[in-house]
Amino acid sequence: MRGIGIDLLDLNRIDIHNDKLIRRILTEKEYACFLEMGPKRQREYVGGRFAGKEAYMKAYGKGLGDISFQDIEILNYESGQPYLNDPDALISISHENHYVIAMVHLK
């Protein structure tokens, strides 16, 4: 194992009406998925992507500014399982009420 990162986020911090913030967090492909969702799911989705990207940076020992959110992409397989655009990284995202947690493991 090369690294592990975890991030917890209060979903109430995510303003899904702030398009500038949403576009800063999400890649174009992620944003296209976001547009297909209802408001509750949008908040979970953006929160999950934010927490996942933060966990990815932590796994690599990097901070905000060292890696752009746009360089990290989290999509889902047809089964719903999330995956990163890094073949050496595994990710898990979980939501509960107003919280989301993400963990990244670097192989």
- Answer for the pair 39, 16: CB distance below 8 angstroms, yes or no: yes
Catalytic residue among 29, 53, 95, 98: 95
Phi, psi (rounded to 5 degrees) for 97: 50, -110
In whole angstroms, what separates CA 70 from the centre of its chain? 11
Q: Is 98 in the active site?
A: no
| Active-site annotation holder among 58, 98, 105, 107 | 58
Q: Is 65 left (phi over 0), alpha (psi -120 to 50) or beta?
A: left
Sign of CA dihedral 26, 53, 76, 2: positive
- Picking from 20, 76, 78, the residue whose alpha carbon sits closest to that of residue 48 is 76
Active site residue ranges? 58, 95
